[in-house]
Structures are given as C-alpha cells and as structure tokens.
Amino acid sequence: MVKFLVEKGACIFATTLSDKETAAEKCEEDEEGFDGCSQYLYGIQEKLGILNSNQVYAAYDYESQNTDELSFKEGNVMTVIRR
C-alpha cells in the first residue's frame, strides 16, 4: 500500500498534525512488514532529487517568505542541483 501511494504522488515528507511525524517515522516496529515499509520509505527519502534526472515536482504553491527561499506553483518542475 505504501509503495502504491508513493508511486501515485503521495508526499513522503508530509507530517501528521498530532505529532509531526513523517510516514517513515509512523511505521510501527511491532507491525508485520515493518522492515520493508521502513526501508522503502527511507530509501525513497534518500533518493529524492537523484532519481528522475534530479527533477522533483511541487506538490503545492509556495510564496517565499525570505530572500533565501524559492517561490513555486503546484506542478512546477524543479531540478535539484545540490543536496
């Protein structure tokens, strides 16, 4: 299920409102399939900006608040030049 959601565009860095944890952090150690789920999500996080010719897509609009930030619109393609 996790792989399906990620492949369909789920935001892997989204956090829960209650405890500010990402999907990878929400994997429960005592649940069946924990190792596979955790390894998959952390692997995707590590590869972000490496796969797909270093291109990532904006999931939402963002207006920069500071001079060192980038404004973008949902769907914009951005190329990661440094991680």
Phi-psi label, residue 57: left if phi above 0, alpha if psi -120 to 50, beta otherwise? beta
Residue 83: is its pLDDT beyond 70? no
Q: Are residues 40 and 61 in the same domain?
A: no
What pTM did the predictor assign? Answer: 0.50
Q: Are residues 35 and 57 in the same domain?
A: no
Q: What is the pLDDT of residues 35-78, one digit of tens each?
A: 788 888 888 777 776 767 888 888 889 999 999 999 999 999 99
Q: What is the pLDDT of residues 4-45, one digit of tens each?
A: 767 777 777 778 888 888 878 877 777 777 778 888 888 877
Q: Are residues 57 and 44 in the same domain?
A: no
Q: What's the total number of domains in the chain?
A: 2
| DSSP 8-state code for residue 30 | T
Residue 72 CB contacts under 8 Å (≥ 6 apart), including other chains: 58, 61, 62, 78
Q: Whole domain around residue 5: which residue ranges? A: 1-48
